[in-house]
């Protein structure tokens, strides 16, 4: 009989009368890469929390690597069984270095119990190098980008299983909860190769993802949850992108396509940037027109991800000039809000919502003054109306808006954060990775909302490494390399293939250059 890395048997879990999991059964063999898909709120996160021992199932059993989990359990016991997790929030300590985060609990010591730092640095350097990361082991995690933190978290999860002391039970299970949400394409490919190698070594890998194309690239089998029920679990070779999309959503899905030929009637420049410098970008100049959707993209660390922070003032520019509607603007969050700017960070855990506050409190935070009376009393009726409008518009399903924000799935958190700022009435919306970590249905909803915002005269500037979404959403795309704008794409040139080619520098001389487009952009519109 084949030994299983994971066996979930008829598991049911409810919260306040709402069933999050309904008789779910799932099996993963050693040596298998298994993808788990599902819409936001489908039960994926709940299932992972049941497997991790965080939630006790109402009924059913869970076995990991041949051991049945008896609740309550502990992370140490699961680790002894050969089970390792990387959750959406990753769980790294920002004040510690990469080395300390990776090696904590397994630091090698000498006879006198002194830590052998040189040997540890060599070990971590080899690990980082093997994954293609040019980072010092001594770099604090707080200085890493979201993508780099994710990679470190994945490496730590692999080490927890492969680096544990040998036991009588071989094998193990690695569970990755949306590890690619903040990763650009080139890092995804490296991650997929690592996942395959880990499975080939005799471990089972369960990877939760929103991206339907990913299981087709790396998985042996795929399971789909919808409304708490397992609607499919079989070989990936039996599926296509379209069949997976239909299983996730519950009906056939037409992928969002780019709307061509948008016109800009007044051609009013609302944002002008000249020779802007930051920690990464160096001498960037461009302008943005009223009603335009401008995409910023490139490979990880190219500089595009820094621009929304600089324009909003969340990160202070080193040099350069910014103007809003013709008036000089010194980037600062308070001034930004007064000038009609709003910013949605791609790091929704650390710079997005307040996890301990309610969903309602998070949604109304940007407009709190408008729902507070002269005597300081909260006008609850107006607050509830605003909250319900955002929840309905973004199709966020909740039993109550008074639930803590932490109770929402990652995708629902993202929709709520974007929704609260769109509803606050900004003129310019800055976003970082607006569709990262979001399933296909929610991604289409977000794209539609941003298009609607732009069609009414709003301006959208967003950075992303989700190349298909960048191509689908943008009127114009600035492609960054080494801190500078290497290419500018517009109209029919805005395709995922062109974006990828220019991100890697695969571009024919004289085509798509900044000089070519900057000189004629206003003439085109």
Cα 333 off chain centre by:
23
Q: What are the backbone angles phi and psi of residue 174, rounded to the nearest 5°?
A: -110, 125
Whole-number average pLDDT of the chain: 83
Q: Is the dihedral of CA 209, 242, 294, 413 positive or negative?
A: negative
| pLDDT band (50, 70, 90) for residue 252 | low
Residue 11: pLDDT over 60: yes
* Predicted local distance difference test score (pLDDT) of residue 511: 43
In angstroms, rounded to a whole number, what is the distance separating the alpha carbons of residues 215 and 227? Answer: 20
Q: Tens digits of per-residue pLDDT, 129-139?
A: 876 678 999 99
Average pLDDT over residues 22-51: 90
Whole-number pLDDT of residue 524? 37
CA distance to 307, 365, 424, 494, per residue, from 399 (Å): 37, 21, 24, 41
DSSP for 168-190, written as a single string: SS---EEEEESTTTT--HHHHHH
Local confidence band at 515 (pLDDT 50, 70, 90 cut-offs):
very low
Task: Work out the average pLDDT over 325-329.
Answer: 88
Determine what percent of the chain is predicted with pLDDT higher than 70.
Answer: 89
Asked whether 322 and 272 are in contact (CB, 8 A), the reply is yes
Give the pLDDT score at 518. 41
Q: How far apart are CA 156 and CA 118, in angstroms?
A: 19
pLDDT at 521: 38
Give the Cα separation of 73 and 83 in Å (integer): 13
Q: State the pLDDT confidence band at 140, using cuts at 50, 70 and 90.
A: very high
- What value does the mean pLDDT take over residues 10-34? 91
Check whether 495 has a pLDDT greater than 60: yes
Q: What pLDDT does 211 receive? A: 78
Is residue 510's pLDDT more than 50? no
CB contact at 8 A, 477 and 489: yes
Residue-wise pLDDT for 72-98, tens only, equals: 888 788 888 889 988 777 889 999 999
Asked if 300 and 481 count as a contact pair (C-beta separation under 8 A), the reply is no
Structure tokens at 218: 């790396």
CA-CA-CA-CA torsion for 128, 134, 137, 138, nearest 10 degrees? -160
User: How far apart are alpha carbons 257 and 64 in whole angstroms?
Assistant: 42
Q: What is the pLDDT of residue 516?
A: 42
Q: Is 113 exposed, middle or buried (0-12, 13-18, 19+ CB in 10 A)?
A: exposed
**Architecture of the domain delimited by 4-94+154-249:** 3-Layer(aba) Sandwich (3.40)
Q: Which pLDDT score is estimated for 257?
A: 56
Range with the poorest average pLDDT among 185-194, 492-501, 509-518 = 509-518
Domains 4-94+154-249 and 269-340+426-524 share a fold: yes
**What own/partner pairs with CB < 8 Å and gap ≥ 24 does 384-390 have?**
384/360, 386/423, 387/359, 387/360, 387/363, 389/423, 390/363, 390/416, 390/419, 390/420, 390/423
Average pLDDT over residues 389-397: 81
Residue-wise pLDDT tens digits, 223-241: 999 889 999 999 999 998 8
Q: What value does the CA radius of gyration of the chain take, rounded to a whole number of Å?
A: 24
Residue 251's pLDDT is 64
Q: Is the pLDDT of residue 54 over 70?
A: yes
184 confidence band (pLDDT: 50, 70, 90): low
Q: What's the pLDDT score for residue 165? A: 59
Instruction: Please indicate whether residue 163 or residue 154 has the higher confidence score (pLDDT).
Output: 154
Place of tokens 């119990």: 113
- Domain boundary assignment for the chain: 4-94+154-249, 96-139, 269-340+426-524
Tokens (6 digits) for 43 = 């039960």
Residue 9 has pLDDT above 90, yes or no: yes
Confidence of residue 485 (pLDDT cuts 50, 70, 90): very high
Give the model's pLDDT for residue 253.
53
Which helix H or strand E contains 38, and what residues bound it?
A: strand 33-38
pLDDT, one tens digit per residue, over 295-323 is: 999 877 889 999 999 999 998 999 999 99
Share of the chain above pLDDT 90, in %: 32
Spacing of C-alpha 128 from chain mean position: 22
Instruction: Check the CA dihedral 148-149-153-159 and report its sign.
Output: positive
pLDDT at 336 over 60: yes
Fold of 269-340+426-524: Rossmann fold (3.40.50)
**Stretch 459-484: mean pLDDT, rounded?**
92
- The encoded tokens of residue 38 equal 């599902």
């Amino acid at each position: 009989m084949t030994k299983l890395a994971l066996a979930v048997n008829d598991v049911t879990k409810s919260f306040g009368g709402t069933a999050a999991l309904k008789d779910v059964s799932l099996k993963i063999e050693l040596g298998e890469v298994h993808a788990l898909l599902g819409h936001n709120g489908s039960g994926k996160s709940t299932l992972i929390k049941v497997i991790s021992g965080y939630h006790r199932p109402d009924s059913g059993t869970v076995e990991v690597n041949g051991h049945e989990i008896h609740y309550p359990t502990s992370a140490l016991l699961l680790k002894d069984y050969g089970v390792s997790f990387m959750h959406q929030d990753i769980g790294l300590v920002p004040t510690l270095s990469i080395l300390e985060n990776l090696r904590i609990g397994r630091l090698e010591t000498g006879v006198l119990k002194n830590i052998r730092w040189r040997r540890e640095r060599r070990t971590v350097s080899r690990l980082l190098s093997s994954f293609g990361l040019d980072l010092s082991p001594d770099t604090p995690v707080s200085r890493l980008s979201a993508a780099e933190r994710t990679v470190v978290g994945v490496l730590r999860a692999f080490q927890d299983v492969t680096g544990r002391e040998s036991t009588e039970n071989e094998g193990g299970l690695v569970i990755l909860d949306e590890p690619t949400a903040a990763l650009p394409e080139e890092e995804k490919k490296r991650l997929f190769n690592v996942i395959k190698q880990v499975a080939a070594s005799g471990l089972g890998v369960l990877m939760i993802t929103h991206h339907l194309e990913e299981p087709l690239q790396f998985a042996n089998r795929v399971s789909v949850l919808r409304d708490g029920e397992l609607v499919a679990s079989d070989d990936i070779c039996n599926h296509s992108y379209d069949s997976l999309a239909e299983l996730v959503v519950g009906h056939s899905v037409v992928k969002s396509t780019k709307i061509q030929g948008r016109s800009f009637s007044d051609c009013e420049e609302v944002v002008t940037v000249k020779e802007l410098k930051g920690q990464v970008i160096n001498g960037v100049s461009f302008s943005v027109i009223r009603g335009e959707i401008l995409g910023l993209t490139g490979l990880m660390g190219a500089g595009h991800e820094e621009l929304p922070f600089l324009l909003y003032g969340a990160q202070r520019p080193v040099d350069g000039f910014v103007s809003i509607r013709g008036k000089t603007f010194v980037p600062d969050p308070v001034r930004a809000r007064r000038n009609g700017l709003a910013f949605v960070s791609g790091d929704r855990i650390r710079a997005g919502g307040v996890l301990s506050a309610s969903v309602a409190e998070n949604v109304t935070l940007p407009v709190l003054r408008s729902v507070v009376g002269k005597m300081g009393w909260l006008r609850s009726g107006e607050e509830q109306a605003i909250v319900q409008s955002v929840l309905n518009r973004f199709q966020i399903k909740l039993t109550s808006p008074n639930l803590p924000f932490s109770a929402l799935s990652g995708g629902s958190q993202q929709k709520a954060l974007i929704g609260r700022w769109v509803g606050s009435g900004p003129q310019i919306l800055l976003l970082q990775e607006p569709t990262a970590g979001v399933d296909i249905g929610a991604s289409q909803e977000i794209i539609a909302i941003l298009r609607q915002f732009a069609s009414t005269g709003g301006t959208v500037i967003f950075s992303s490494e989700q190349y298909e979404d960048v191509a689908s959403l943008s009127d114009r795309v600035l492609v960054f390399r080494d801190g500078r704008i290497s290419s500018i794409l517009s109209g029919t040139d805005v395709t995922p293939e062109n974006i990828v080619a220019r991100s890697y520098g695969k571009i024919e001389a004289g085509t798509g250059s900044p000089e070519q487009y900057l000189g004629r952009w206003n003439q085109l519109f």
